[in-house]
Amino acid sequence: MGIIVWCIFFAIVVFFAFFATRMASQNKEDGLHDTGLAIVEFGRAFPMEAIRQLQATANGQAVFVRLHDDKAGFMRSLRNHFAVHLIEPGRARAKDSGTGRGLTVDFLDAPHHNGTFEFATPAEAAEVSLWLLGNYVANDDPKPSAIMPAAKA
Residue type, 66: R
Whether the predicted pLDDT of 153 surpasses 70: no
* Domains present along the chain, CATH in parentheses: 35-133 (2.30.29)
Whether the predicted pLDDT of 148 surpasses 90: no
Q: How far is the C-alpha of 148 from the C-alpha of 153, rounded, in Å? A: 15
Whether the predicted pLDDT of 152 surpasses 80: no
To which H or E segment does residue 27 belong? helix 2-30
User: Of 8, 51, 55, 10, which Cα lies nearest the Cα of 35?
Assistant: 55
Average confidence score pLDDT of the chain: 80
Cα dihedral 31, 33, 39, 45, rounded to 10, equals: 20
User: Of 49, 82, 78, which Cα lies nearest the Cα of 66?
Assistant: 49
DSSP state of 99: S
Q: How far is the C-alpha of 8 from the C-alpha of 29, rounded, in Å? A: 32
More confident: 137 or 66: 66
Do 31 and 60 form a contact (C-beta atoms < 8 A)?
Answer: yes
pLDDT for 134 equals 73
Confidence of residue 77 (pLDDT cuts 50, 70, 90): confident
pLDDT digits (tens, 9 = 90+) for 17-76: 887 777 765 554 455 567 788 888 899 999 999 999 999 999 888 999 998 887 899 998
